[in-house]
Amino acid sequence: MLSVENITRTYGSFTAVDQVSFNIKQGEIVGLLGHNGAGKTTIMKMLSGYIEPNQGEIFIDGKNLELEAKSIQSSLGYLPESLPVYPEMTVADYLDYAADIKGLTKNIKKAEIKKAIQATELTSKLLAPIDTLSRGFKQRVGVAQAILGQPKLLILDEPTNGLDPTQTEQMRKLIKSVAKHATVILSTHIMQEVDALCDRVLIINSGQLVVDSTLDKLRNSKTVRLVTSMDGEQALLHINPIAGIEDMQPVTAKNHTRDVYSYEIKIAENQKKQQVMAAIANTVISAQQQLFEITEIKRDLETVFRDISDPNLSKVKGESQHKEFSHAA
């Protein structure tokens, strides 16, 4: 549906987006994440055709956005980060104007505006000047104009920005319902939003795409916690050499007691986690040591995001504290 190939965008000598590539399939809801200034808005502006990449290409339904901007834009919905403000216009007039800009023909225009108004529950505000609306209602107007004409691709830049919890909940429901008939890419800082809405995430760091992953894969750290009576020396001797183990770190648990040792063991990407876990368990038992626990460590999204976005951290840590190996035994 959407294919982005090596797009780069500079502002003067500053590279805001650096050779970003990704694909989005029909019907997916994809979250675009990144710290302030990471380049999310710039990417969304390029996807909507609002600005052009300096390099690279964007294809929507197989059509090159640069070459067929006009026809593609009529099947796109775009909610910009800051809405174009026409303070004196009423909601009805603004949507009528937005429908004209989208090129909706007279015979479908009225019906489309009606549908957008119903979906965003704006009926009570139709005659209100946009200037007089609360932030939440202004955002709904933005979404209403974005969904006019039932776009196949919806690009939403921080759709719940500034909304209260009730409005946020309503907006998420609305996005889910629109996504039944459209592909959606949305940017956000809010991890619960990603959890509630997205199938997949793209994480941008300093203009570069650093993660393109489903949520399930992201949460699965391929790291295992082992709690055993085996001390550090024995663990190095018996556990560390097991095929498929990439790294092993001792952990001092808060309730550390003598003769109970914890380790975090990173399993190599290409290995089957269950098999390596079974091999670890067998090794502990064969060495006639106690196996107290062997479990997979699940990461929460906040941790994943923080660690990926932090260049100083090379690997994801669990809630326990790592120590130098020699200190553990």
Ligand X SMILES: Nc1ncnc2c1ncn2[C@@H]1O[C@H](COP(=O)(O)OP(=O)(O)OP(=O)(O)O)[C@@H](O)[C@H]1O
Task: Tell me which residues touch ligand X (CB under 6 A).
Answer: 11, 14, 16, 34, 36-42, 81
Would you say 52 or 231 has its CB closer to ligand X?
52
CB 205 within 8 A of CB 34: yes
CB of 219 to ligand X, least distance (A): 23
Closer residue to ligand X, CB minimum distance, 203 or 265: 203
Kindly tell me which of 36 and 270 has the beta carbon lying closer to ligand X.
36
DSSP tag of 211: E
Comparing CB distances to ligand X, the nearer of 37 and 103 is 37
CA distance 267 to 232: 18
* Least distance to ligand X, CB of residue 42, Å: 3
- Which one, 131 or 302, has the nearer CB to ligand X? 302
CB 20 within 8 A of CB 4: yes
Record the tokens describing residue 36, joined without a space: 């302030």
Cβ atoms within 10 Å, residue 34: 26
Beta carbon of residue 186, minimum distance to ligand X (angstroms, whole number): 12
> Is 192 in a helix, a strand, or coil?
helix
- The residues, any chain, with a CB within 8 Å of residue 29's CB and separated by 6 or more, are 175, 176, 179, 183, 184, 185, 186, 197, 198, 199, 200
Pick 261 or 305: Cβ nearer ligand X: 305
Min. distance of Cβ 41 from ligand X in angstroms? 3
Nearer to ligand X, 46 or 148 (CB): 46
DSSP string, 22-60: EEE-TT-EEEEE-STTSSHHHHHHHHTTSS--SEEEEEE
Q: Which is nearer to ligand X, 12 or 165 (CB)?
A: 12
Helix axes 91-102, 106-119, angle to 10 degrees: 130
Tokens of 142: 């933005």
- 266 Cβ contact list (under 8 Å, min separation 6): 222, 223, 245, 246, 247, 248, 315
Burial 119-137 (b: 16+ CB within 10 A, else e): ebebeebeeeebeebeebb
The values of phi and psi at residue 249, to 5°, are: -130, 135
Q: Quick one: 16 or 113, whose CB is closer to ligand X?
A: 16
| CA-to-CA dists, residue 127 to 39, 106, 119, angstroms | 37, 21, 17
